[in-house]
Amino acid sequence: MVTVDAAARMALRLPEVSEALRWGNRAWLVAGKAFAWERPFPHFDGYSAFLVQLRKVTTKALREAILDGWLACAPPKLAGEYLTHHRSTW
C-alpha cells in the first residue's frame, strides 16, 4: 500500500513542482497546472483523469502515473530536459 505522503514525495521530486490546496485537498502542480491531487472517487465521468486507489497500486505503477501526469502538464522545454537528463533516475 502506498500512502498519500509517499505519493507527495514522488511528485515533489519532479522539477518545478509545488504543493497546494484545491477544494480542501492536497494537489501537486507544475506551471500552475494540477497533475496529481488527493480526492475521493465520486463524479469523474467524462473527465480526463487517471484514478488510482493507493491501497491497491504498486509503487512503480504510481510513480509512472505521476510522471505521465507531470509530463502532460509540464512546459515542453522542461519535460524534454527532464527526459533527457533524469528519466533513468526516476
Q: What is the pLDDT of residues 47-88, one digit of tens each?
A: 777 788 888 999 999 999 999 999 999 999 999 999 998 766
Q: How far is CA 42 from CA 16, 39, 45, in A?
A: 29, 9, 9
| Cα 77 to Cα 64: distance, rounded to the nearest angstrom | 20
- pLDDT number for residue 1: 82
Number of Cβ within 10 Å of residue 49's Cβ equals 11
Identify the DSSP state of 53: -
Per-residue confidence at 42, pLDDT binned at 50, 70, 90? confident
For residues 36 and 65, give the distance between their C-alpha atoms in angstroms, rounded to a whole number: 9
Position of cell 486507489? 53
